[in-house]
Chain A
Amino acid sequence: MLSAVFIYNQKGEVLISRLYRHDVKRSAADVFRVHVISAVGGVRSPITTLGSTSFFHIRYDNLWLCAVARHNANAALVFEFLYRLLGLGVSYFGRFDEQAVKNNFVLVYELLDEVLDFGYPQNIEVDTLKLYVTTESVRTQGPVEPPQITMQATGAMTWRRQDIFYKKNEAFVDVIESVNLLVSAKGTVLRADVQGQIVMRSFLSGMPECKFGLNDKLVLDQHPASSSTSKPMVAGGSAAVDIADCQFHQCVRLGRFDVDRTISFVPPDGEFELMRYRAADSVNLPFKVLPVVRERGRIVEYEVLIKANFNAKLSATNMVVTVPTPPNATKCHIKVAGPGKAKYHPEQNAMVWRISRLQGQQETSLTAVVDLAAMSKPAPWSRPPISLDFQVLMFTASGLLVRFLKVFEKSNYQSVKWVRYMTKAGSYQIRI
């Protein structure tokens, strides 16, 4: 398992160095800096193996998180650990950046001592750790008895404390879908899929047992009678969604899901990602983009038409359309017909078209003429794709719906449940 964990700032200065095994020396930190951080030509792989020492790194904000192993390490585990370490930092310090690490380095060391034992990841659940790894900024409600902590840290439900109490029991469910789209220059859809995320914020007392139901095709096919649930205002033709695959938070009982696709769990307190899913069939694309880009000698002409392809009662917000221009562009004459404003951003080699709101079924278009500078050695332009960023509330591109969320608890309290839907752009790209 891991022999060391290092955290560097952008320049490659070591902020945190924690060695777990004797097969690695502190000087390994320099090796990584020399060979990766300051390597010429950039980083070509997240894993660098020199001799039998392997460095795994991820980058976040202005930090480099690096784990070192001297054996045939389980690479997936290492990266999951690093991701999780990041998450831990974020939830402890709000932001996880150089300043946060410098201000809280003792705490970081404490955490590192706790989450890795001899290089083996142990418990990395924030809720539990906060019980006994604390700072001034993070204080628990009251003193907790050590045995209770240890039970919590080693028990079957490391993610939830026993003694949670709320006056008002509420649970919020957010269904957030990212649509990935890749359209070829000829207009054929090369790839369209949806990555969904169901994020839950639970403010429930005691040890609630939750059951969660979706309009999952497999479930509905099993129980055809129950498929007559009313639909909220969500686009999507069919009542059931074909979920290609899903993954769950560790609180979900995978065994039960495997047997009858019941999603049952005892939720952690507060916000957590209950599940991730993937749907690739019959994706409702929220926008149609019709670009025409012509290169004519020293100018490039653009015509880009965007149509909102969802219910007229809904609207998209915070839309950003990035229309790439050649690197040698000098001037852009842009006209927008319809909502939105566009501006040329030379540093991005693109025209950035911001549309604060686009109603369903509405259209907007951009026409532009871009002047190019003469080049001594004309190089062809790689024509990067147009990319879209947006949010559409109360719309799911996959057509997924939450059918129910049931909460069972000993004390049999009433709970209030809220569901929101949002679709946003994942990698929504149209080649030109």
Chain B
Amino acid sequence: MKYGKVHDLQLELTSEKKDPRHQRKKVAMKKVVANMTMGNDMSSLYREVIACMHIPDLEVKKMVYLFLINYARARADIANHAVNGLEDDVNDPNPLIRAMAIRTMGYIYVDRVVESLIDPLRHCLRDRDPYVRKTAAMAVLKLYMFDRSLVEEEKYLDMLKDLLADSNPSVVANSVAALTEVSERSPHIKLKLNMKIAGKLITALNECNEWGQIYILESLMYVTPQSSEDAETVIERILPRLQHGNSGVVLVSVKVITYMMNYVSKTETLEPILRKLSPPLVTLLTSGPEVQYITLRNIQLLLQRWPTILQNQLRSFFCKYDDPIYVKLAKLEVILSLTTEENVRIVLAELAEYATEIDVDFVRKAVRSIGRIAIKIELAADRCVRALMDLIQTKVNYVVQEAIVVIRDIFRKYPNRYEAIIGTLCENLDTLDEPEARAAMIWIIGQYADRIDNSDEVLSKFLETFLEDPAEVQLSLLTAIVKLFIMRPTAGQDLVPKVLKWATEEIDSPDIRDRGFIYWRLLSTDPEMARTVVLSEKPEISAEGEKLDMPLLEELLLQVGTLSSIYRKPPSTFIPFAKRRVLGTSPALTRLTIAPPPVSRLPRTNTLAKNQAPSSTKRVSSQGAEAAQMSRTSSSSNAQKNSSAIDVTNNVSAGLSNPYLNDVAPMPSNDAALIDLMTMDYDEDPGSSGMVLNSGGMFGFNANFGTSGMNLASLDMGADSSSKNAGGSNAAMATVASPVSSPSAPADSSQLLNSAFDAAGLDALSNLPSSSSSAAARMASNRSPVPDMTRQFTSSFDLSGSSMPLPTSSASALTNSNSQLDIFQQQLSSGSNPSPFADPLLLPSSSLSSGNAALPSSISPFASGLNSAGGNFTSSASNLTSPTANLVSPGLTTEAPASSNLQTLAFGNSFTIPSTSSGTAAIQTEAKNSTALQQEVSDLATQMYNTGLLSEFGEQKVDSGEYVPKRQKLLDAQQTQGLEIVGAFARRSGQLQLEMSFTNRSQMALSDFAIQFNKNTYGLAPKAGLGLSLLNPNSTTEVVLPLMWGGPSMPMQPLTNVQIAIKCTSGVFYFQTQYSLHILLEENGASDQGGFLRMWKALPDAAQGSRPISSLRFASMDEVRDKLNRNNVFTVAQRGVGETTHFYTSSRLCDGTMFYSEIKVANNMQGAMVSTKSNNVQAINAYQQAIADICSAW
């Protein structure tokens, strides 16, 4: 049959019948082509087909060529046969045929054909007919793909370059396109266009058809403007293209314009350009859905870089009912980015509407978005929670589950604020079948076990299916039940043994088993300690994880409109040959940004606020200061050093003391204030985060939120509870911090962060995607908020970090082999942590182990448990005497066989164990005495500090007792082309100053430094210039900038926030930081006792705020008084009351505000409570923060 068909065709093609107009041949050829399309092999007809080439009919010829393209490229014999005919056609007088021949020959990658193409191609490139020339230009590219060296030898590329000056626009366009692709693919050829050529090309734009315009515009990406004027010229000449009807032209113009904007030196020039960008982008949303999708994905990127575009365009992004799902999802992301305090109401109404639609993915994302808005915009949190509760009432299963997951995050962000809704949540317990939702619900119940009357019943119900649940739920349940037991021992006493037994005996997962053991040991050793550990203060989460980090964003913005921009991946991740695009260096490269116009952020009266007590401004207000306090090497007493960084934790505990005060914070959130200046505040969407490469680092070159990177370095300061810091310090960490943004991260990760010291949570690390696990570990270590434990842990960690053969580190390997493995490897691979410590990432595990050392009695059940590998928990004490090394090895080999170096590490250390463990018994009796432990640990800490390991970051010598916070990184070299600034605000002998050290990490000398302060609350401003003229590569200079107050002022949130711009030759960089309020306290703030009493009585209680300080670094009350006095917190009176000493102090702020405080200090220096009254309620929090910092500083 098939033979017959081919045979018939053969006859038809060779028929000698009269065929004056070639109709018969034409019909026969059509049949051939039809068969080809259907996939039938027609190649055997090649002789007959090629014979038809000589028929002088364009249509027949085209079919013959199609046949050739189809078969000849794979079969040299057919190609060879056709060469003669092709050579004839190349010289045909008809330009259409010449062009067609050239075009077809280019498709046939057979040596013989290519050889015979070489000469004709050269002629064709100079053909008098433009149609032939443009086709020849493309043929050069085809040839280049076949044989690079041939094209280079024959100098075709030079000919192409000449064609750039051709008189015909199509020829120019095709030549540009060919050269661009050669440059994209060639390993050594790189297209570079100067302004002169660029000018000519732009002129040709007007003459080109739409596609040619795209090729030419694309080539402008290879122009590196050498001056701001160059860039402005290009932009100005391209702007009209935004009105083009072809979305390809519009988007490529947007790409070129935003690229060129990096080289523009004045913001005044940029603003009108940005204004012109918005309307065309909105207009593209009227194109086909596919183009809308591309546009929306790109708008997301553009918004991160240029937050001012598309202002007031929110409504254009509302979904239509019949939009395709991909458009809807992409719109949702844009809506989220455009949501502000002003329009949040409209957005929420809209999202609630979406949540009733049919498409499950869309509905889920809508629900999730509501949760993210709650986290992003604090003022809207109430409204969001209400919206979510309404959705839960719909009882639509997946809506309820999704809502519960996001409510969990809201609880984490705003602890102790929305417990009232728990009852409603519990109504839906039975319907939860998704692991994430179950885990979230269990977490909520565990977290508030003491406020839910029947929490034990509920958890016990969950426990029924414990063994069948996925690990995520099991871990969550385990922790929740332990929490329950600690909060309500009677309620939990039946459940705990059950769950621990199951977790340690029935479950195969090492994580769950280990966590079970840890809890078991913790509970059996010291319930009080367990309480502190398990119920520790949880750090807040933030929405910052949504943002792309700057280098990636910058790269993606050079790819606007392409696949890369849609997937948010650099092209090299999915295209093997792709070259990386970077902003070409040039003196004009400024990377300016435009900040949205500063909205006045006066504290607002929120109608919902039930109580506007100052304590409700509980957000960390002076992160910088807190972070800063840590690094000072100090010669003061051990006791002081002892308490590393605990105070900060309890920043939030103002809320704890009276949780219901904090229903609504009347101040706008930090986030909101940040946006004023942080124009690099990127928003990333959750849906695509599978694609997002959060490669760590900070997410904006000016995004130094307070302490940023320093946190990592100064591990011992740890407990800064500001999630913002964490977010700033590591983007990857931020990803974890907001689980919303990383759906891939299991709930454990959030759980982990949350209960940074739910010690067992460390195990969960191994469940995390490895990139985030190290971050999470760091976070855990960094922010562990439990005062006593932290102190011990951190200090002992320092020891293990300095690789002293302490028993603890081996135990750590043991307890935590899995997670540590992960962390360890992560550490090896990342390697660039600026930490002064040998191995900061070991911290979490070693901190755990220090617990072991400190509580040796607890080792026994634990170790034995491990030994029996399935958990014969009863065979305890006897095993204790056996060398621990034995215990270690089975544990390691069964659980962590992967990393040999880790094993050796563990073994190496384990040999030192016996010596200690022999001493264990002796210590055992003391173990419960926590003060003794502290003493021990603090001794170790002293040792540690004396070894000078901290010296690098302890720049400030302690002198007069004036408190100077630890310096923090203000600008990060990665984001600023190499300029790094570390600094802190100080008040020395009554003089305000900003002490900074500038480091130039780039290869170029930097000069022309200038500094400017944005308006801030107290009008803090430089008193003199920066006094820095030149900074050589790789050098560091100390700069002390004298400051004054009383300049132009604008209320900031937090009060002590200050936004600073630094200019130098590599650009203008913005950052914001916070100072400790004490620098504004005046030396004349002392009050007499009478005055104090009068004022204390006169000021209403509403003007009072109180906060605990959890750790003090003083040896005696005298020291407390002196330290405070030296920092202008003057003691009016002092008296001892029982176990505490009360100080009554007064201070005067530079603007005349008086603060009157009562500071109750526990005689054992375990903690203190500050109550403050002042007329200036807003400042109380910052003031108390300053006191807390002073008290816990070195």
Chain A residue at minimum C-beta to C-beta distance from B103: A117
Interface residues of A in 223-253 (CB under 8 A from B): 244-250, 253
Collect the chain B residues with CB atoms within 8 Å of residue A180's CB.
320
Please tell me if the beta carbons of A147 and B318 are within 8 angstroms of each other in the complex.
no
Please tell me if the beta carbons of A110 and B325 are within 8 angstroms of each other in the complex.
no
Please tell me if the beta carbons of A380 and B394 are within 8 angstroms of each other in the complex.
yes
Please tell me if the beta carbons of B145 and A22 are within 8 angstroms of each other in the complex.
yes
B321: interface (CB < 8 Å): yes
Please tell me if the beta carbons of B288 and A74 are within 8 angstroms of each other in the complex.
no
Please tell me if the beta carbons of A56 and B290 are within 8 angstroms of each other in the complex.
yes
Interface residues of B in 53-78 (CB under 8 A from A): 58-59, 62-63, 65-66, 69, 73
Collect the chain B residues with CB atoms within 8 Å of residue A153's CB.
131, 170
Among A106, A113, A276, A384, the residue within 8 A (CB) of B245 is A276
A383: interface (CB < 8 Å): yes
Please tell me if the beta carbons of A44 and B131 are within 8 angstroms of each other in the complex.
no
User: Shortest CB–CB separation between residue A227 and chain B, in angstroms?
Assistant: 23
Among B247, B346, B358, the residue within 8 A (CB) of A80 is B247
Q: How far is the CA of A149 from the CA of B94 in the complex (A)?
A: 11
Interface centre among B211, B289, B394, by most A CB within 10 Å?
Answer: B211
**Chain B 346-385 per-residue mask, 1 if CB under 8 angstroms from chain A, else 0:** 1001100100111000000000000000000000000000
User: Shortest CB–CB separation between residue B585 and chain A, in angstroms?
Assistant: 23
**Chain B 125-141 per-residue mask, 1 if CB under 8 angstroms from chain A, else 0:** 00001111011001001
Binds B, one of A190-198, A313-321, A366-374, A391-399: A190-198
Binds A, one of B485-493, B574-582, B752-760, B1041-1049: B574-582
B218: interface (CB < 8 Å): yes
B248: interface (CB < 8 Å): yes
Please tell me if the beta carbons of B294 and A79 are within 8 angstroms of each other in the complex.
yes
Collect the chain A residues with CB atoms within 8 Å of residue B430's CB.
none
B559: interface (CB < 8 Å): yes
User: Shortest CB–CB separation between residue A264 and chain B, in angstroms?
Assistant: 12
**Chain B 100-111 per-residue mask, 1 if CB under 8 angstroms from chain A, else 0:** 000100110100
Q: A72-B571, A154-B134, A182-B318 are in contact. Are A118 and B141 (CB under 8 A)?
A: yes
Collect the chain A residues with CB atoms within 8 Å of residue B567's CB.
49
Collect the chain A residues with CB atoms within 8 Å of residue B65's CB.
113
Binds A, one of B236-244, B870-878, B1122-1130, B1180-1188: B236-244
Q: A46-B289, A106-B30 are in contact. Are A80 and B246 (CB under 8 A)?
A: yes
Please tell me if the beta carbons of B245 and A273 are within 8 angstroms of each other in the complex.
yes
Interface residues of A in 139-186 (CB under 8 A from B): 146-147, 149-151, 153-156, 158, 180, 182, 184-185
Q: How far is the CA of A182 from the CA of B322 in the complex (A)?
A: 12
Binds B, one of A11-19, A339-347, A355-363, A406-414: A11-19
Among B138, B251, B349, the residue within 8 A (CB) of A76 is B251
A278: interface (CB < 8 Å): yes
**Chain A 3-47 per-residue mask, 1 if CB under 8 angstroms from chain B, else 0:** 000000000001111011110001000000000000000001111
Interface size class of B (residues with CB under 8 A): 35 or more
Chain A residue at minimum C-beta to C-beta distance from B66: A109
Please tell me if the beta carbons of A254 and B283 are within 8 angstroms of each other in the complex.
no
Q: A46-B290, A132-B96 are in contact. Are A247 and B244 (CB under 8 A)?
A: yes
Collect the chain A residues with CB atoms within 8 Å of residue B134's CB.
122, 154
Among B66, B215, B247, B248, the residue within 8 A (CB) of A120 is B215
**Chain A 54-92 per-residue mask, 1 if CB under 8 angstroms from chain B, else 0:** 101010000000000111111111011111000000000
A431: interface (CB < 8 Å): yes
Per DSSP, chain B at the interface is helix
Binds A, one of B31-39, B739-747, B1100-1108: B31-39
Among B103, B169, B564, the residue within 8 A (CB) of A156 is B169
**Chain A 245-283 per-residue mask, 1 if CB under 8 angstroms from chain B, else 0:** 111111001110110000000000000010110101000
User: Shortest CB–CB separation between residue B814 and chain A, in angstroms?
Assistant: 43
Please tell me if the beta carbons of A427 and B322 are within 8 angstroms of each other in the complex.
yes
Please tell me if the beta carbons of A278 and B246 are within 8 angstroms of each other in the complex.
no
User: Shortest CB–CB separation between residue A51 and chain B, in angstroms?
Assistant: 8
Interface centre among B109, B243, B578, by most A CB within 10 Å?
Answer: B243
**Chain B 386-407 per-residue mask, 1 if CB under 8 angstroms from chain A, else 0:** 0000000011100000000000
User: Shortest CB–CB separation between residue A9 and chain B, in angstroms?
Assistant: 12
Collect the chain B residues with CB atoms within 8 Å of residue A1's CB.
177, 181
B279: interface (CB < 8 Å): yes
Q: How far is the CA of A134 from the CA of B356 in the complex (A)?
A: 53
Among A83, A190, A273, the residue within 8 A (CB) of B350 is A190
Interface residues of B in 181-233 (CB under 8 A from A): 181, 184, 206-211, 214-215, 218
Please tell me if the beta carbons of B248 and A76 are within 8 angstroms of each other in the complex.
yes
Q: How far is the CA of A51 from the CA of B289 in the complex (A)?
A: 24
Interface size class of A (residues with CB under 8 A): 35 or more
Please tell me if the beta carbons of B562 and A75 are within 8 angstroms of each other in the complex.
yes
Please tell me if the beta carbons of A146 and B95 are within 8 angstroms of each other in the complex.
yes
User: Shortest CB–CB separation between residue A117 and chain B, in angstroms?
Assistant: 5
A213: interface (CB < 8 Å): no
Collect the chain A residues with CB atoms within 8 Å of residue B288's CB.
58, 79, 83
Chain B residue at minimum C-beta to C-beta distance from A258: B240
Please tell me if the beta carbons of B130 and A150 are within 8 angstroms of each other in the complex.
yes
B1001: interface (CB < 8 Å): no
User: Shortest CB–CB separation between residue B259 and chain A, in angstroms?
Assistant: 15
Please tell me if the beta carbons of A257 and B240 are within 8 angstroms of each other in the complex.
yes
Please tell me if the beta carbons of B141 and A184 are within 8 angstroms of each other in the complex.
no
User: Shortest CB–CB separation between residue B661 and chain A, in angstroms?
Assistant: 35
Interface centre among A16, A150, A387, by most B CB within 10 Å?
Answer: A150
A429: interface (CB < 8 Å): yes
User: Shortest CB–CB separation between residue B573 and chain A, in angstroms?
Assistant: 10
B280: interface (CB < 8 Å): yes
Q: A46-B289, A72-B564, A123-B209 are in contact. Are A245 and B138 (CB under 8 A)?
A: no
A137: interface (CB < 8 Å): no
Please tell me if the beta carbons of A149 and B62 are within 8 angstroms of each other in the complex.
no
Please tell me if the beta carbons of B30 and A250 are within 8 angstroms of each other in the complex.
no
Interface residues of B in 281-331 (CB under 8 A from A): 282-283, 286, 288-291, 293-295, 315-316, 318, 320-322, 324-326
A98: interface (CB < 8 Å): no
B1177: interface (CB < 8 Å): no
B142: interface (CB < 8 Å): yes
Chain B residue at minimum C-beta to C-beta distance from A132: B96
User: Shortest CB–CB separation between residue B292 and chain A, in angstroms?
Assistant: 10
B1036: interface (CB < 8 Å): no
A376: interface (CB < 8 Å): no
Interface residues of B in 145-195 (CB under 8 A from A): 145, 168-171, 174, 177, 181, 184
Q: A26-B39, A118-B142, A276-B286 are in contact. Are A254 and B243 (CB under 8 A)?
A: yes
Collect the chain B residues with CB atoms within 8 Å of residue A155's CB.
130, 168-170
* Residues of A participating in the B interface, judged by any CB pair closer than 8 Å: 1, 14-17, 19-22, 26, 44-47, 49, 51-52, 54, 56, 58, 69-77, 79-83, 105-106, 109-110, 113, 117-118, 120-125, 132, 134, 146-147, 149-151, 153-156, 158, 180, 182, 184-185, 190-191, 193, 195, 244-250, 253-255, 257-258, 273, 275-276, 278, 280, 379-380, 382-385, 387, 427, 429, 431
| 21 A-B residue pairings within 8 Å (CB atoms) | A1-B177, A22-B109, A71-B575, A75-B566, A76-B561, A83-B288, A113-B62, A124-B211, A147-B95, A150-B95, A154-B169, A154-B171, A155-B168, A190-B315, A246-B283, A276-B245, A276-B283, A276-B286, A379-B396, A382-B356, A382-B358
- Beyond the given pairs A14-B37, A71-B577, 9 more chain A to chain B contacts, judged by CB atoms under 8 angstroms and listed by A's residue number, are A74-B218, A74-B561, A76-B250, A80-B291, A120-B177, A120-B215, A150-B96, A154-B168, A248-B245
Closest 6 pairs between A and B when the two form their complex, measured CB to CB: A150-B131, A245-B279, A77-B248, A258-B240, A154-B170, A254-B240
* Residues of B participating in the A interface, judged by any CB pair closer than 8 Å: 30, 33-34, 37, 39, 58-59, 62-63, 65-66, 69, 73, 94-96, 99, 103, 106-107, 109, 129-132, 134-135, 138, 141-142, 145, 168-171, 174, 177, 181, 184, 206-211, 214-215, 218, 239-241, 243-248, 250-252, 279-280, 282-283, 286, 288-291, 293-295, 315-316, 318, 320-322, 324-326, 346, 349-350, 353, 356-358, 394-396, 559, 561-564, 566-567, 571, 574-578
